Structure 1
Amino acid sequence: MKWHHVQENWPAFFDAILDRWPEADETDLEEIDGDQRAFIAYVAELTGQEPADAREEIRDWLAGELPSDVVMDPRHDNHSIALSSKYIPEGEDESDDDARFGDDAANG
Protein backbone atom coordinates (compact mmCIF):
# COMPACT_ATOMS: atom_id res chain seq x y z
CA MET A 1 0.00 0.00 0.00
CA LYS A 2 1.04 3.59 -0.47
CA TRP A 3 1.24 6.28 2.17
CA HIS A 4 -1.59 8.24 0.52
CA HIS A 5 -3.93 5.31 1.36
CA VAL A 6 -2.91 5.65 4.99
CA GLN A 7 -3.08 9.45 5.01
CA GLU A 8 -6.50 9.63 3.33
CA ASN A 9 -7.97 7.01 5.69
CA TRP A 10 -5.89 7.72 8.81
CA PRO A 11 -8.43 6.76 11.53
CA ALA A 12 -9.25 3.52 9.72
CA PHE A 13 -5.61 2.46 10.13
CA PHE A 14 -5.55 2.82 13.93
CA ASP A 15 -6.26 -0.87 14.52
CA ALA A 16 -3.55 -1.92 12.06
CA ILE A 17 -1.09 0.52 13.65
CA LEU A 18 -1.95 -0.70 17.16
CA ASP A 19 -1.50 -4.30 16.00
CA ARG A 20 1.98 -3.49 14.67
CA TRP A 21 2.96 -1.08 17.48
CA PRO A 22 0.86 -2.07 20.53
CA GLU A 23 2.50 0.58 22.68
CA ALA A 24 1.06 3.32 20.44
CA ASP A 25 -1.66 5.53 21.87
CA GLU A 26 -4.84 6.35 19.95
CA THR A 27 -4.85 9.95 21.20
CA ASP A 28 -1.30 10.41 19.87
CA LEU A 29 -2.36 8.88 16.55
CA GLU A 30 -5.25 11.34 16.31
CA GLU A 31 -2.79 14.22 16.76
CA ILE A 32 -0.49 12.85 14.05
CA ASP A 33 -3.47 12.97 11.67
CA GLY A 34 -1.76 11.09 8.83
CA ASP A 35 1.40 13.22 8.76
CA GLN A 36 4.10 10.81 7.58
CA ARG A 37 7.04 12.69 9.14
CA ALA A 38 5.25 12.95 12.47
CA PHE A 39 4.42 9.23 12.34
CA ILE A 40 8.06 8.31 11.60
CA ALA A 41 9.20 10.44 14.56
CA TYR A 42 6.49 8.85 16.74
CA VAL A 43 7.48 5.28 15.82
CA ALA A 44 11.16 6.16 16.39
CA GLU A 45 10.29 7.46 19.87
CA LEU A 46 8.09 4.45 20.67
CA THR A 47 10.66 1.91 19.62
CA GLY A 48 13.83 3.75 20.63
CA GLN A 49 15.11 3.64 17.05
CA GLU A 50 16.75 6.20 14.86
CA PRO A 51 14.25 7.86 12.49
CA ALA A 52 15.85 6.11 9.49
CA ASP A 53 15.25 2.72 11.14
CA ALA A 54 11.68 3.68 12.04
CA ARG A 55 11.12 4.79 8.43
CA GLU A 56 12.33 1.37 7.24
CA GLU A 57 10.03 -0.41 9.72
CA ILE A 58 7.09 1.66 8.46
CA ARG A 59 8.10 0.90 4.87
CA ASP A 60 7.99 -2.83 5.71
CA TRP A 61 4.56 -2.36 7.29
CA LEU A 62 3.35 -0.54 4.16
CA ALA A 63 4.42 -3.53 2.07
CA GLY A 64 1.49 -5.44 3.57
CA GLU A 65 -2.00 -5.65 2.16
CA LEU A 66 -4.35 -2.73 2.34
CA PRO A 67 -6.98 -3.58 4.98
CA SER A 68 -10.23 -4.41 3.22
CA ASP A 69 -12.29 -2.08 5.39
CA VAL A 70 -10.15 0.94 4.54
CA VAL A 71 -10.94 1.58 0.90
CA MET A 72 -14.51 1.16 -0.19
CA ASP A 73 -14.03 1.27 -3.93
CA PRO A 74 -15.69 -1.10 -6.41
CA ARG A 75 -12.41 -1.47 -8.32
CA HIS A 76 -10.66 -2.56 -5.12
CA ASP A 77 -13.56 -4.80 -4.12
CA ASN A 78 -13.68 -6.45 -7.53
CA HIS A 79 -9.92 -7.00 -7.41
CA SER A 80 -10.25 -8.64 -3.99
CA ILE A 81 -13.05 -10.87 -5.25
CA ALA A 82 -10.93 -11.90 -8.24
CA LEU A 83 -8.01 -12.72 -5.94
CA SER A 84 -10.31 -14.93 -3.85
CA SER A 85 -10.78 -17.23 -6.82
CA LYS A 86 -7.82 -19.32 -5.67
CA TYR A 87 -10.00 -20.45 -2.73
CA ILE A 88 -13.04 -21.34 -4.86
CA PRO A 89 -13.53 -24.93 -6.02
CA GLU A 90 -13.02 -25.63 -9.71
CA GLY A 91 -16.17 -25.01 -11.73
CA GLU A 92 -17.55 -22.35 -9.38
CA ASP A 93 -17.28 -18.65 -10.20
CA GLU A 94 -16.05 -16.33 -7.44
CA SER A 95 -19.00 -14.00 -8.16
CA ASP A 96 -21.67 -16.73 -8.04
CA ASP A 97 -24.69 -16.25 -5.83
CA ASP A 98 -24.25 -18.52 -2.82
CA ALA A 99 -27.83 -18.78 -1.58
CA ARG A 100 -26.93 -21.79 0.56
CA PHE A 101 -24.88 -19.42 2.75
CA GLY A 102 -27.86 -17.21 3.58
CA ASP A 103 -28.02 -14.76 0.70
CA ASP A 104 -31.07 -12.65 1.64
CA ALA A 105 -32.06 -11.92 -1.97
CA ALA A 106 -32.28 -15.63 -2.79
CA ASN A 107 -34.21 -16.43 0.38
CA GLY A 108 -36.52 -13.49 0.24
Structure 2
Amino acid sequence: MKWHHVAENWPAFYEAIIDKWPAADEAELDEIDGDQRRFLRYIAEIEGMERDEAREDIREWLAGEIPSDVVMDEMHDGVSIRNSSKYVGEGEDEYDDDARFGDDDQDDD
Protein backbone atom coordinates (compact mmCIF):
# COMPACT_ATOMS: atom_id res chain seq x y z
CA MET A 1 0.00 0.00 0.00
CA LYS A 2 1.06 3.60 -0.41
CA TRP A 3 1.20 6.22 2.32
CA HIS A 4 -1.60 8.20 0.67
CA HIS A 5 -3.94 5.25 1.35
CA VAL A 6 -3.01 5.48 5.01
CA ALA A 7 -3.22 9.29 5.24
CA GLU A 8 -6.56 9.49 3.42
CA ASN A 9 -8.13 6.87 5.68
CA TRP A 10 -6.11 7.54 8.83
CA PRO A 11 -8.61 6.52 11.56
CA ALA A 12 -9.45 3.32 9.70
CA PHE A 13 -5.81 2.24 10.08
CA TYR A 14 -5.71 2.59 13.87
CA GLU A 15 -6.45 -1.09 14.45
CA ALA A 16 -3.76 -2.19 11.96
CA ILE A 17 -1.27 0.25 13.50
CA ILE A 18 -1.97 -0.94 17.03
CA ASP A 19 -1.72 -4.57 15.87
CA LYS A 20 1.75 -3.84 14.46
CA TRP A 21 2.88 -1.49 17.26
CA PRO A 22 0.92 -2.39 20.44
CA ALA A 23 2.37 0.57 22.36
CA ALA A 24 0.61 2.98 19.99
CA ASP A 25 -2.19 5.02 21.54
CA GLU A 26 -5.35 6.14 19.71
CA ALA A 27 -5.24 9.61 21.24
CA GLU A 28 -1.67 10.06 19.99
CA LEU A 29 -2.68 8.74 16.57
CA ASP A 30 -5.46 11.35 16.50
CA GLU A 31 -2.82 14.02 17.03
CA ILE A 32 -0.62 12.65 14.23
CA ASP A 33 -3.59 12.79 11.83
CA GLY A 34 -1.86 10.91 9.00
CA ASP A 35 1.30 13.04 8.94
CA GLN A 36 4.00 10.62 7.81
CA ARG A 37 6.93 12.43 9.45
CA ARG A 38 5.14 12.74 12.77
CA PHE A 39 4.18 9.07 12.57
CA LEU A 40 7.80 8.10 11.89
CA ARG A 41 8.99 10.08 14.92
CA TYR A 42 6.22 8.59 17.04
CA ILE A 43 7.01 4.98 16.10
CA ALA A 44 10.73 5.57 16.72
CA GLU A 45 9.88 6.99 20.14
CA ILE A 46 7.45 4.32 21.35
CA GLU A 47 9.56 1.45 20.01
CA GLY A 48 12.88 2.87 21.20
CA MET A 49 14.32 2.79 17.69
CA GLU A 50 16.49 5.04 15.61
CA ARG A 51 14.52 6.83 12.89
CA ASP A 52 16.13 4.70 10.17
CA GLU A 53 14.99 1.54 11.97
CA ALA A 54 11.48 2.95 12.39
CA ARG A 55 11.43 4.01 8.74
CA GLU A 56 12.29 0.45 7.68
CA ASP A 57 9.67 -0.98 10.07
CA ILE A 58 7.01 1.31 8.56
CA ARG A 59 8.18 0.47 5.03
CA GLU A 60 7.74 -3.25 5.76
CA TRP A 61 4.28 -2.58 7.20
CA LEU A 62 3.33 -0.59 4.09
CA ALA A 63 4.41 -3.53 1.91
CA GLY A 64 1.40 -5.44 3.23
CA GLU A 65 -2.11 -5.35 1.85
CA ILE A 66 -4.55 -2.57 2.58
CA PRO A 67 -7.01 -3.88 5.16
CA SER A 68 -10.21 -4.78 3.32
CA ASP A 69 -12.33 -2.54 5.51
CA VAL A 70 -10.24 0.53 4.65
CA VAL A 71 -10.66 1.05 0.93
CA MET A 72 -14.24 0.60 -0.15
CA ASP A 73 -14.42 1.57 -3.79
CA GLU A 74 -15.44 -0.50 -6.81
CA MET A 75 -12.00 -0.40 -8.39
CA HIS A 76 -10.29 -1.74 -5.28
CA ASP A 77 -13.05 -4.28 -4.68
CA GLY A 78 -12.57 -5.69 -8.19
CA VAL A 79 -8.82 -6.02 -7.66
CA SER A 80 -9.39 -7.72 -4.30
CA ILE A 81 -11.84 -10.16 -5.84
CA ARG A 82 -9.42 -11.03 -8.64
CA ASN A 83 -6.60 -11.46 -6.13
CA SER A 84 -8.78 -13.74 -4.03
CA SER A 85 -9.02 -16.21 -6.90
CA LYS A 86 -5.86 -17.94 -5.65
CA TYR A 87 -7.89 -19.12 -2.65
CA VAL A 88 -10.87 -20.36 -4.66
CA GLY A 89 -11.07 -24.04 -5.47
CA GLU A 90 -10.83 -25.39 -9.00
CA GLY A 91 -14.14 -25.16 -10.84
CA GLU A 92 -15.40 -22.32 -8.66
CA ASP A 93 -15.67 -18.72 -9.75
CA GLU A 94 -14.37 -15.92 -7.52
CA TYR A 95 -17.22 -13.72 -8.79
CA ASP A 96 -19.97 -16.16 -7.74
CA ASP A 97 -22.39 -15.16 -5.02
CA ASP A 98 -20.91 -16.38 -1.77
CA ALA A 99 -24.27 -16.62 -0.01
CA ARG A 100 -23.95 -20.38 -0.30
CA PHE A 101 -20.40 -20.46 1.05
CA GLY A 102 -19.60 -23.73 2.72
CA ASP A 103 -22.16 -25.82 0.86
CA ASP A 104 -19.82 -27.26 -1.79
CA ASP A 105 -20.85 -30.80 -0.94
CA GLN A 106 -24.56 -30.12 -1.55
CA ASP A 107 -26.30 -30.54 -4.90
CA ASP A 108 -27.94 -27.54 -6.51
CA ASP A 109 -31.73 -27.73 -6.58
TM-score relative to the length of structure 2:
0.87
* Residue of structure 2 in register with 1:59 after alignment: 59
Deviation at 1:36, TM superposition (A): 0.3
The ranges of structure 1 where at least 4 consecutive aligned residues each deviate by more than 4 angstroms after the TM superposition are none
The CA RMSD measured in Å over matched residues stands at 1.2
Q: 2:30 is aligned with what amino acid?
A: E
- Once residues 76 and 99 of structure 1 are traced to their aligned partners in structure 2, the CA distance between those partners, rounded to angstroms, is 21
Count of matched residue pairs: 101
* Residue of structure 2 in register with 1:68 after alignment: 68
Question: Which sections of structure 2, spanning at least 5 residues, go unmatched?
Answer: 102-109
- Once residues 71 and 59 of structure 1 are traced to their aligned partners in structure 2, the CA distance between those partners, rounded to angstroms, is 19
In terms of fraction of residues, the more helix-rich structure is: 1
Question: Which sections of structure 1, spanning at least 5 residues, go unmatched?
Answer: 102-108
Post-superposition Cα deviations, 1:61-99, rounded to whole Å, max 9, x if no partner, equal 101111111111111111111111122222221112345
TM-score relative to the length of structure 1:
0.87
Q: 1:22 is aligned with what amino acid?
A: P
* Residue of structure 1 in register with 2:13 after alignment: 13
